[in-house]
Amino acid sequence: MKTPASWSSKIGFILSAAGSAIGLGAIWKFPYTAGTNGGAVFFLLFLLFTILIAMPVQLAEFYIGRKSGKNAIDSFKTLAPGTLWPWIGRLGVFACFILLSFYSVVGGWVLNYVVHAFTGAIHTGADFKELFNATIASPWGSIAYQGLFMLMTIWVVKSGISDGIEKANRYLMPALFILFLLLAIRSLTLPNAMAGVTFLLKPDLSEVTSQTMLTALGQAFFALSIGVSTMITYAAYLDREHDLFRSGNSIMWMNLLVSLLAGLVIFPAVFAFGFQPSEGPGLIFVVLPAVFMHMPFGTLLFAVFMLLVVFATLTSAFSMLETVIAAIIREDESKRTSRTWVIGIAIFIVGIPSALSFGVLSDMTFFGKTLFDLWDFMITALIMPFSALAVSIFVGWVQQRATVLEHMREGSDVPQAIILLWLNTLRWLAPLAILLVFANTLGWI
């Protein structure tokens, strides 16, 4: 019998894990990163690195979670008692807490833009750069929308796995795919849209550089949500009949599909109306409103697009908060509601300085970075690759090889040769690739 602390179905887990991975990384970060790194070449490298390196690490996190059946911290205590490995779990929980504190700020911006679209602030002739700067600089507006985003996240997570997270993702993820598909079709019918398709899908291999390769590798890690223990937490609620390989494969391709659809929504429209694909992080908030204003029913279509971003941002937020809550309640579901409110409010409070980093606290810097940028660098550039490296070493080398192979065969009809290939990739290729990303991030190469 399934309980509120377990997945009620295989598809529920797949949709929720995919929702965790498909967030701002696929819809916001992928398009602007591809736009500034050669388009199709970047997408090709991102595709290869996701399949060959990021997915094996994600499967390793699945192993840790399902094998132990515990939260991110206790899973390492169960699999490696009396060692320092639980600190990797603690690092993941800490990362989720901090990550959600500033991720909710961006989620608040997205919610604010939905309101902008429906209240007339998004219109032909508007100065979208000025609107974006005013939106992120407004102290009360930033805090209010950040709080609303956290309230929505808390409301879902407090209801548990099957009644909260899984139920929400059953509606949000299909809606996201359907709306994205409709927007992509509309974008592809614009004049000169094929120039955008060519930019995204016709690689010029002469543009491959070491920097492009390393950026694509980092995006692959970010896109599958590895290195912050969310996949460990979600996999802990799985039974032994669940096929980890097929689930991992489904989650990976869903993520790649959304990244592709994001590119097919954005780049054809950008080229159709004479904008530059290399606009950077402001692509969604500054360039896209101007693009949509060139379309019939542009304001409505832009509102739909931002609703998509809200859906994707929320599904990732659920997994971050759940990772922290699971580690605190330690399987005592009677504590879930109260602890979710307490922790959610604490994350909101910690995130307030990040929300103010673009306005009243913009002059407060640490190592030349605002608090928002400092947290972002610490999580995505330091903790995520370090934790991913630790997971690959833990499963690939610390755990008994026979134990790992036996567990990964449970519930799976994947050929033994594929499982062996996965383990060898985890042991050799993944650590080397992660070390390269880590070194590049720190400026060592």
DSSP state letter for 205 = G
Mean pLDDT of 281-289: 81
Give the span between the Cα atoms of 329 and 261, in whole angstroms: 38
Which residue in this structure is represented by tokens 């992080």?
Answer: 281
**pLDDT tens string 90-122:** 999 999 999 999 999 999 999 999 999 988 899
Supply the pLDDT for residue 1: 38
Cβ atoms of 12 and 170 closer than 8 Å: yes
- DSSP letters, 364-389, are -EETTEEHHHHHHIIIIIIIHHHHHH
Q: Comparing C-alpha atoms, which of 108, 100, 101, 96 is closest to residue 146?
A: 108
Give the span between the Cα atoms of 86 and 80, in whole angstroms: 8
Q: Pick the residue with more confidence: 399 or 283?
A: 399
The H-assigned helical ranges of 273-370 are 287-292, 298-329, 336-355
Q: Given 3-state DSSP classes, what are the helix, strand and coil percentages for the chain, each rounded to the nearest 5? A: 75, 0, 20
Which neighbouring-strand residues pair with 366?
A: 369
Which CATH class, in words, describes the domain spanning 10-441? mainly alpha
- Residue 416 clears pLDDT 70, i.e. is over it: yes
Q: Please enumerate in sequence order all residues whose Cβ is within 8 A of that of 239, keeping only pairs 6 or more positions apart, or say none.
A: 6, 411
Tally of CA atoms within 13 A in the half-sphere of 7 that contains its CB: 24
Supply the pLDDT for residue 131: 93
Q: Do the bridges between strand 369-370 and strand 365-366 make them parallel or antiparallel, or are there none, so unpaired? A: antiparallel
Q: Comparing C-alpha atoms, which of 106, 55, 154 is closest to residue 282?
A: 106
Cβ atoms of 17 and 251 closer than 8 Å: yes
The H-assigned helical ranges of 22-166 are 24, 30-35, 40-49, 55-68, 72-79, 86-119, 128-137, 139-157
Confidence grade of residue 403 (pLDDT, cut at 50, 70, 90): very high
**pLDDT tens string 55-92:** 999 999 999 999 999 999 999 999 999 999 999 999 99
* Helix, strand or coil, per DSSP, at residue 234: helix
Supply the pLDDT for residue 445: 67
- Residue 165 clears pLDDT 90, i.e. is over it: no
**pLDDT tens string 319-357:** 999 999 999 999 898 999 999 999 999 999 999 999 999
Tokens at 434, concatenated: 């992660």
**pLDDT tens string 22-57:** 777 788 888 888 998 889 999 999 999 999 999 999
Cα–Cα distances in angstroms (integers) from residue 247 to residues 5, 17, 59, 222, in the given order: 19, 9, 9, 18
- Residue 3 clears pLDDT 70, i.e. is over it: no
pLDDT averaged over the chain?
89
Supply the pLDDT for residue 443: 73
Q: Comparing C-alpha atoms, which of 95, 163, 170, 166 is closest to residue 321?
A: 95
Cβ atoms of 190 and 270 closer than 8 Å: no
Provide, rounded to the nearest whole percent, the portion of the chain with pLDDT above 90: 53
Q: Please enumerate in sequence order all residues whose Cβ is within 8 A of that of 286, keeping only pairs 6 or more positions apart, or say none.
A: 128, 129, 132, 279
Supply the pLDDT for residue 126: 86
Mean pLDDT of 242-256: 91
Confidence grade of residue 5 (pLDDT, cut at 50, 70, 90): low
Give the span between the Cα atoms of 60 and 430, in whole angstroms: 11
Supply the pLDDT for residue 180: 81
Residue 200 phi, psi dihedral angles, 5° rounding: -85, -35
Whether this model's pTM surpasses 0.75 = yes
Cα–Cα distances in angstroms (integers) from residue 308 to residues 170, 290, 302, in the given order: 15, 18, 10
- Residue 251 clears pLDDT 50, i.e. is over it: yes
